[in-house]
Structure 1
């Protein structure tokens, strides 16, 4: 796979390979950030920050075949940090009325419901459904057995369904 070769070269210190690796993954990074942060500007900022963090830490990556999963994991962790910080900020009424004017309108109920889930559930759902990772890839990225990942995914889907039912979303997984 081309990404794996680029990652291997990037680990060995080749900057051009790192740039090509990021270029190959940037759409997936952006989609992940947008799914979590629900704002185009924040998603673009997240891609920039994750690119920087990945550049600083690329040499710590031991297995090039997990490079894309590693990169997505950095993005998910960054997004969870941003969301945690947002929860701590007290929003004034003017900000609340201006918030959300530039958000995409498809899947808003699912995104709202996902925001109400715990970090692990959001992470697993994003890896499985936004990044189309296999259970085995998620298990390797999170360093847990596949059975545990299946259990966590099942619980996350159940929680998501419950949240959507509360809002009248009618979601069926």
Structure 2
């Protein structure tokens, strides 16, 4: 697999391999950042900072197959640190997209419902459904049994579903 060999080369100090890896994952990094910081400028700054942090600590990657997971985890930790440091509440900027007022009310409802979940539940849902990380990989990354991850994922989805049930938007049996 080409990705693993690139990671191995990057770990050994090959800067070109590292840049190629970062380039291939920059969209995932940006999406992760924007989902936390909610504005383009901060998200771009986060991508830059995480690229630097990843470069600085590339030698700590133990399993090349989990490089993307490792990188996304650095981004999530960085964004959480930024939000804590600024001591601000996540503002509902999902009402505004890059071109103006959003017409997609479903998106806004999902964003609002996600804000009712804990940081852990949001991270778990983000990894699984927005980044497509496998449960097995999340379990390895968080050093938690797969069954526990499945249970927590199920609970997070149930909490999200209950949020919609309370609003009367969706009734499930």
> TM-score of the superposition, structure 1-length normalised?
0.83
Cα RMSD of the aligned pairs, angstroms, is 2.7
Q: Which residue in 2 is equivalent to 1:13?
A: 13
Q: CA deviation at 1:13?
A: 0.8
Highest relative contact order (Cα 8 Å, sep 6+), 1 or 2? 1
Q: Give structure 1 stretches of 5+ with no counterpart.
A: none
Contact 1:35 1:111 in 2 (8 A): no
Q: Which residue in 2 is equivalent to 1:58?
A: 58
Over 3 Å counting, the alpha-carbon distance change for 1:168 and 1:4 in structure 2 is farther
Q: Which residue in 2 is equivalent to 1:127?
A: 127
Structure 1's consecutive aligned runs of 4 or more residues displaced over 6 angstroms after TM superposition are: 96-99
Over 3 Å counting, the alpha-carbon distance change for 1:90 and 1:151 in structure 2 is closer
Indicate the larger mover: 108-117 or 18-27. Answer: 108-117
Contact 1:37 1:79 in 2 (8 A): yes
Q: Which residue in 2 is equivalent to 1:89?
A: 88
Contact 1:39 1:103 in 2 (8 A): no
How many residue pairs get matched? Answer: 167
Q: Which residue in 2 is equivalent to 1:138?
A: 138
Q: Give structure 2 stretches of 5+ with no counterpart.
A: none
